[in-house]
Amino acid sequence: MSWPTTSPSCEAGDLAQILGIPAFSEEQLDAIRAPLEPSVVVAGAGSGKTTVMTARVVWLVATEQVTPDHVLGLTFTNKAAGELSSRVRRSVLALSDRLSGVPRTEVGEPTISTYHAFAGRLIAEHGLRLGVEPGSRLLTEAASVQLAYRIVTTTSRDLAPLESSVAAIVQNVRALDAELAEHCLEPEVLRAFDRGEVEKIEALDKRAARTGEMLTVSITRIELAYLVDELRQARRQRDLVDFSDQMRFGAMLAENFPEVGAALREQFPVVLLDEYQDTSVAQRVLLTGLFGGGHPVTAVGDPLQAIYGWRGASVANIDSFPSHFPRTDGSPAPVRRLTENRRSGIPILMGANELAGPLRALHPQVLPLVSPADSMRSGGIRVALHNTYEEEMQWIGDRVLEQIDLGTKPEDIAVLARVRSDFPALIRVLEQRDIPVDVLGLGGMLAMPEVAEIVAVLEVLHDSAANPALVRLLSGPRWRIGLRDLALLGRQARTLAGSQGRPGDDDLDGQLDAAVSGVDPADIISLLDALDDPGDLDYDPEARRRFALLSAEIRSIRRGIGDPLPDLVHRVISVTGLDIEMASTPELLRMHRSEGLTAFVDLVATFANVEGESHVGAFLGWLSLASRFDEVPALDRPAVPGCVQLMTVHKSKGLEFPVVVLPSLTQGVFPGTRGITRWTKNAKAVPFSIRGDRESLPHLAGYTAKDHTAFIDACEVHSGHEDLRLIYVAVTRSERLVIASSSWWGPSQIKPRGPSPYLTTLRDQCIAGAGQVDHWAAAPADDAGNPAFEIDGDTSWPPVSDPHALELRLEVAAQVRQHPDLTVADLRGEHDGLEAGAVRVPAGDSPLSPLAATDLEIVRGWDDDIELLLEERRLQRATTRVVALPSSLSASDLVRLAADPTLFTRRLARPVPAAPAPAARRGTRFHAWVESHFGIAPLLEPDDLPGAADEAIDSDDTLAAMQAIFLTSPYADRTPIAIEVPFALVIGGRVIPGRIDAVFSSTGPDGVTRVEVVDWKTNRHHDADPLQLAIYRLAYSELSGIALDDVDAAFFYVRDGALIRHRDLPDRAGLEALVIG
């Protein structure tokens, strides 16, 4: 496609008008109009990198250097890819309308993808070069965990020396596998390195303590590497790949098959790489292998925003881009900079630049952020240091409310927490002020009380010893069991478990702690057992009543434990009344809390393990792991309008808000105490000296105590830089106001913590004129204690979040108990007697008298809901269950129905999945072979052919023997008149679909032509039900128009050549009688 232009250039004003922005800076224009050669654009926060990338594509297209469909753009998330693709597409269409006159339908479109999706495409197209099947299925995170668990629990290797739980080994194997893949390393390379370390350490005459620890870690890592081999082999055997495989295989293709890169360079003359600071070593190897050697690659990123080092990203990639992607003459690629921040006010930029000072020393190519010369954007910073954590949280709630009162929309305020443990307190103080909160990410969702309750119920269903989960339910707002009764329940649990505890022991707190602590399941002390059998201890009568109700509720829910996971979760929501709670509580509706519950239900619906199935245990295990990383694509949803946004700082990357709140800028929290994983201490970490980014990492010089100390210090400095990048990202999300805070005393800490260096830096900026210091508490005295532990007087526990709402509900419940005989018909009678504005009953007899007509319609809808709920409860309590016969039955189903109607009905009521039988695939292969024997190419895959229900063929030798027997059969030399005949027979109002193996015809001496329906059987025993033949016989008769009496039917058992013809098969009337009953 040509793009005729009036000039070979495109003016800056044209570009700005096409993209809908006022103007470009000189820095932006320099990056946009750069020559077609490799270059890296170091784009500071808020400098318009996406606009620049879009404008560069438009400029290249407008100047006829490339057509839109020859541009490749790569980024990290589907959301970012969609946004970039949309902007480029709109701009290119606008350019077409302005300059080319090309019809919009003919305008090409750039290829915008995620890095992983691009690698997946490479594998699909070129994977066979590596022996990887093109159709390999991408594992979900959940399925990956399940497969690793299976490998660890079935390996023949001795795992005892690892001295870890199965869960810990699974986690370590997956982490080591991913990190090896990110650095393009094979497990054997790792084992060779660690064997070398073991030999060197064992040769030392004297070992430092940390060197001895390092020896143990190296030996453990060798064993883990063998498990990584087994895990990778398992994926290969199952035609599965995970995300780490995609990059590993992609890098191998790029390095070993130059023709792959040549084809892509021809297809995409221009390549754009977004967020390049977050790429891994494997991604860099992939990209240099495909697009190195001077190809026009433009990478955009900011080393100051490289916050994903913990998951494999290497900031060294962007630092070394000029040497990794040299020009065609071998000289380093040029570096361009975007420093003009068009997002934040000047005071905020001052604070961000001050925080980032040490980072700029590491990355000299990065310059401080500046504000545009014509900027009128104001802004500011507010900080406070409080005495206690509770005072800090209340101050944050007041500041957010203040901003909303000043006119800021709730959705324009973001609260960015470093740790998710702050979420419950933040949610509480905001909701106390009637401020709706939208919690983004998995960790935040799990902090919502309604979601936490569902998870707790699932844990109790899955594990009878899930004592902490049961305590959460018992002590929650619904059941409200007090400490004394919980402790007595714990004593009963110990008694039932055979514990030697003293019945008269009055240490209730100790008993409760013992009951809810993590215990070995072999020693089961189960509060759930005690809930079912609380004994005759001195419980409060109301507590005993609630124990019985909760026990019955759990039993009711457990009846659905075999249901699909989404159905089970819906059952939990329904039985516990959470759905009614969410719909009937005005404050919860106002807070948009139902969105979090809906998001959780959606997440459950997407969960599947490695076989594509799901169960409670697998889901809970995955949930625990996935919540640590807060990376679940299913939760990447739009923000809820009208709600303050609550998320982790990591989650905020790429977003911007007028107001940003940063709680807990506290020592040990932000910056945190967890940093880079030291390979000398943790076996799941790849040694730095063999990683692809080794030059940017701390180096262990030797094995002395001094060497280890220097290495640890270097690692702490490195980790400090990681947190410094994170606070820089957090501050630069704000447009006009940053609110930051800390406290001396945490919610449960024994020693004071105090402000982090980040808060003191922001405070200094405020004092210098960038904002205001609201409060700065003095340091506590040396002998001071945490005020949170100093509680005067009596405290109600469990606490009541809304006493007034509780009082109203108790009043309504009392009214319901006063009218136990009231029926739905009584309610309908009362409500039908009400009219808009008037009542036919005496005034005051109905509390609904003042309601308008529209409100009365809602009330009548409640009557319908009540009737349905009562009917559902009646069915749940019924001792028998009516099961409807499905509208469609397979021939096998009909056979089972005839053989044992009771068993068939039970299986309909509670389906039991069939055990996987890989060998059965050979049975379907026999059917495919028969088709080819008769000269008909199969239209279906073997798994879709008849025979899947036949007995499995246990080896390829057996298959060959059956083929030989068939060739000696009376059918081998005959030509069928039909083969693999599909049908859908309607019998008794039910559709019976199926497929007939083969049909033969023969003419007798009397000249009468008869047909015979034949079903190939691979079973060992001659036990196939002739009812199946009756169905096939009737189906072919009605399909062909041949009289039923002229159609015969037979089974041919191909294992031994037995031919069994069945006479006196039931006709249509007989089959209908069977179905109708």
CATH number where 516 lies:
1.10.486
What confidence tens digit (pLDDT) does each residue in 412-434 have? 999 999 998 899 899 999 988 98
| Burial bucket for residue 79 (CB in 10 Å: 0-12, 13-18, 19+) | middle
541, 561: one domain: yes
567, 708: one domain: no
Last residue of a domain, one of 606, 632, 660: 606
953, 975: one domain: yes
Q: Give Cα 94 distance to the centre of its chain.
A: 37
Lowest mean pLDDT among 502-506, 866-870, 926-930: 502-506
48, 21: one domain: yes
Q: Collect all residues with Cβ–Cβ distance below 8 Å to 24 and sequence separation of at least 6.
A: 12, 15, 16, 32, 55
Q: Does a structural domain hold residue 459? A: yes
Helix axes 209-237, 705-731, angle to 10 degrees: 60
- Reference 87, options 183, 1, 19; nearest CA is 19
- Determine contact, residues 57/27, Cβ cutoff 8 Å: no
Lowest mean pLDDT among 81-85, 281-285, 304-308, 336-340: 81-85
Q: Does a structural domain hold residue 370? A: no
More confident residue, 582 or 382: 382
Please say if the pLDDT value at position 485 is more than 70.
yes
pLDDT of residue 873: 72
* CA–CA separation, 963 and 248 (whole Å): 42
CATH at residue 119: 3.40.50.300
What confidence tens digit (pLDDT) does each residue in 234-255 have? 999 988 998 889 999 999 999 9
The residue type of 1021 is H
Q: Give Cα 80 distance to the centre of its chain.
A: 18
pLDDT of residue 944: 40
What confidence tens digit (pLDDT) does each residue in 613-658 have? 567 877 887 777 666 544 554 455 667 788 999 999 988 988 999 9
pLDDT of residue 834: 67
* CA–CA separation, 939 and 942 (whole Å): 9
Three-state secondary structure readout of 436-475: CEEECCHHHHHCCHHHHHHHHHHHHHHCCCCHHHHHHHHH
456, 599: one domain: yes
Q: Does a structural domain hold residue 886? A: no
* CA–CA separation, 109 and 692 (whole Å): 35
pLDDT of residue 842: 46
198, 305: one domain: no
Residue-number span of the structural domain to which 148 is assigned: 137-238
Number of domains, the chain = 6
pLDDT of residue 379: 83
User: Vertex 243, ends 242 and 246: CA angle to 5°?
Assistant: 90
Residue recorded with tokens 């559709």: 991
The residue type of 570 is H
730, 650: one domain: yes
Q: Does a structural domain hold residue 375? A: no
920, 1047: one domain: yes
90, 206: one domain: no
255, 112: one domain: yes
318, 429: one domain: no
Q: Does a structural domain hold residue 789? A: no
Q: Give Cα 529 distance to the centre of its chain.
A: 33
What confidence tens digit (pLDDT) does each residue in 270-281 have? 999 999 999 999
What confidence tens digit (pLDDT) does each residue in 1023-1073 have? 888 999 999 999 999 999 999 999 999 999 998 999 999 988 999 999 888
Q: Give Cα 480 distance to the centre of its chain.
A: 32
Q: Collect all residues with Cβ–Cβ distance below 8 Å to 518 and sequence separation of at least 6.
A: 468
* CA–CA separation, 578 and 593 (whole Å): 11
The model's pTM = 0.71
Lowest mean pLDDT among 370-384, 466-480, 790-804, 835-849: 835-849
User: Vertex 898, ends 896 and 903: CA angle to 5°?
Assistant: 55
Lowest mean pLDDT among 99-103, 847-851, 860-864: 99-103
- Determine contact, residues 603/631, Cβ cutoff 8 Å: no
Lowest mean pLDDT among 207-216, 451-460, 598-607, 686-695: 598-607
Lowest mean pLDDT among 12-21, 163-172, 199-208, 969-978: 12-21
Q: Does a structural domain hold residue 807? A: no
- Determine contact, residues 398/386, Cβ cutoff 8 Å: no
Phi and psi at residue 183, in whole multiples of 5°?
-110, 15
Last residue of a domain, one of 238, 267, 286: 238
Please say if the pLDDT value at position 835 is more than 60.
no
* CA–CA separation, 176 and 444 (whole Å): 27
Which secondary structure element, helix H or strand E, spans residue 810, and what is its range? helix 803-818
177, 115: one domain: no
More confident residue, 953 or 684: 684
The residue count for the chain:
1077
Which secondary structure element, helix H or strand E, spans residue 826, and what is its range? helix 824-832
Which secondary structure element, helix H or strand E, spans residue 985, and what is its range? strand 978-987
pLDDT of residue 57: 92
Q: Collect all residues with Cβ–Cβ distance below 8 Å to 725 and sequence separation of at least 6.
A: 304, 305, 306, 307, 359
Lowest mean pLDDT among 184-188, 446-450, 521-525, 641-645: 521-525
Helix axes 243-256, 281-291, angle to 10 degrees: 30
What confidence tens digit (pLDDT) does each residue in 314-362 have? 999 999 999 999 999 999 999 999 999 999 999 999 999 999 999 999 9
Last residue of a domain, one of 834, 854, 877: 877
Q: Collect all residues with Cβ–Cβ distance below 8 Å to 646 and sequence separation of at least 6.
A: 414, 415, 417, 423, 426, 427, 430, 437, 438, 439, 440, 444
What is the rounded (10 degree) CA torsion for 60, 62, 63, 68? Answer: 50
Around 901, how many Cα atoms within 13 Å sit in the side-chain half-sphere? 8
Q: Does a structural domain hold residue 816? A: no
Give the number of other CB atoms < 10 A from CB of residue 908.
Answer: 15
- Determine contact, residues 1024/1016, Cβ cutoff 8 Å: no
* The 71-75 sheet, strands edge to edge: 111-114, 71-75, 270-273, 297-301, 39-43, 335-338
Q: Does a structural domain hold residue 179? A: yes
